[in-house]
Amino acid sequence: MAPRKGELTEEEKELVQVISKGNVQDAAQLLGSKEVRVNCLDEHGMTPLMHSAYKGRADMCKLLLQHGADVNCNEHEHGYTALMFGCLSGKKDIVWMMLEAGADTDAVNSVGRTAAQMAAFVGQHDCVTVINNFFPREKLDYYTKPQGLSKEAKLPVKLAGPLHKIITTTNLHPLKIIFLIKENPLLLDQEALKKCSMVLDLICEKCMKQKDMNEVLAMKMHYISCIFQKCATFLQEGEDKLDTLIKNLLKGRDGDCFPVFQEKFIRESIRKFPFCEATLLQQLVRSIAPVEIGSDPTAFSVLTQAITGQVGFVDAEFCTTCGEKGADKRCSVCKLVIYCNQNCQKLHWFTHKKVCKTLKEKREKQELEAAKEKKRQEKLAEKEEKANESGLAIEETPDGESEKPKETEDQVTSESSDAAEKVDVSATTSESSADPNVSQTSDSSEK
């Protein structure tokens, strides 16, 4: 029997209290009781899941979903759903969790607002982005069935899984998307890529023409479609030609090693968006057009920010090769570029080696100056201390682009066991062309 509003058992009342306190262990215990129904309703028609979402407690939401909480329960007095409560709390992870649990994004509250519209109304734009970026598997599966009079489906069933994985990625770096393509042998085929690209274009069109227009998702679909098309073109010339595309995208220009081809490719993809009246397109073009190639912001960062809402590219650790967040492997020579793994470092080496030494020298010079400055400051502080016993300036380190010398030392010791790192060190002592990394990513296909 479905729970009725306001008819809570003592244990259920306790659960609601435990939720607002945030004690997951107590909640788990209560959920094990026969007296507790996971979808019980308080006097306002709120379920425990709605309470948890509203309080912004992700771990509690997870627990309740594991216990079979109904994500689409719609008994609230104002028609709010758990997804809407998640939006009100401004917690992106909760919004994502609700979507993955099958939350209906089209459900409206008593004044006719969807969760995304509600989030926008209260200024939770990150939550709007999460909703806009979400694309349920069922919507893609639609294309795996023949529609209308056609006998053949637009998308072979076997491609739906790998394509869905790419669609839901939040790292839009072209290299990352190509890695995802390469990862799956089913996608490494010209015809398969063309079919996927066509379906992406159809979804893009649908996003623009539906009643509740979603420009963000439309742009994302279009952009991924452009990458698929590019890959198909390269594959046409040979199975190994995808590696040529990867190299082209990574190749840095002389001087600052800026990847010009990559920048131009992303800019061109954005400009090719088929709905020229779209506000998002105009915004993107306005932000990118005045920027000289090689300056900030890059087309990639502008696009990523528009689609995922991710900001702070400068501070966060992103892989130089594939844009993956949380990269922590540093080039052991220059210590100025970071990668997520050895593979990314190897791929980048053919172009990075041209500037690595210069970067290293630059860093060392900066470090030396920093050390000198530090000594100078210390002496100064010593003098001051003698003068008034306070010694305030000792802790102060001078500003500079390079890291503090102490930190770089830590890097060396923590990563020196890594084989590839050692290889790189040898690159500075011997000639760089003798580096094994280089022979692995052969330079023959360059240019």
Number of residues counted as binding Zn ion (CB under 5 A): 10
Least separation in angstroms between CB 431 and Zn ion: 15
- 188: tokens are 């490494």
Nearer to Zn ion, 140 or 266 (CB): 266
DSSP of 346-367, one letter per residue?
Answer: HHHHHHHHHHHHHHHHHHHHHH
Distance of closest approach, residue 424 Cβ to Zn ion, in angstroms = 7
Alpha-helical (H) ranges within 101-214 are 115-121, 125-133, 137-141, 157-167, 174-183, 190-209
Q: How many residues does the chain have?
A: 447
Q: Could you tell me how far CA 246 lies from the centroid of its own chain?
A: 20
State the Cα angle at 341 between 338 and 347, rounded to 5°.
80
- Tell me: does residue 177 bind Zn ion (CB under 5 A): no
- Closer CB to Zn ion, 231 or 319, in the complex: 319
CB 324, min distance to Zn ion, A: 5
Count Cα neighbours of 252 within 13 Å in the Cβ-side half-sphere: 18
Nearer to Zn ion, 278 or 359 (CB): 359
Q: Which of residues 333-372 bind Zn ion (CB under 5 A)?
A: 333-334, 340, 344, 356
The token pair that represents 81 in the structure block = 């759903």
Q: Which helix (H) or strand (E) holds 339?
A: strand 338-339
| Integer CA distances (angstroms), 38 to 1, 54, 63, in order | 13, 16, 10
Residue 87 · residue 95 · CB < 8 Å: yes
User: Measuring CA to CA, how many Å separate 387 from each of 317, 376, 378?
Assistant: 43, 17, 14
| Nearest approach, Cβ of residue 250 and Zn ion (Å) | 11
CB of 249 to Zn ion, least distance (A): 13
Among residue numbers 303 through 332, which ones bind Zn ion (CB under 5 A)? 319, 321-322, 324, 331
The distance of closest approach from Cβ of residue 251 to Zn ion in the complex, given in angstroms and rounded to an integer, is 16
Report the nearest approach of Zn ion to the CB of residue 275 (Å): 32
Nearer to Zn ion by Cβ, of 302 and 336: the residue is 336
Within 8 A by CB and 6+ apart from 14, the residues are: 30
Q: Which is nearer to Zn ion, 266 or 331 (CB)?
A: 331
Q: Is 420 in the site for Zn ion (CB under 5 A)?
A: no
Nearer to Zn ion, 61 or 181 (CB): 181
If the CB atoms of residues 101 and 340 are measured against Zn ion, the closer one turns out to be 340
Question: What residue ranges bind Zn ion (CB under 5 A)?
Answer: 319, 321-322, 324, 331, 333-334, 340, 344, 356
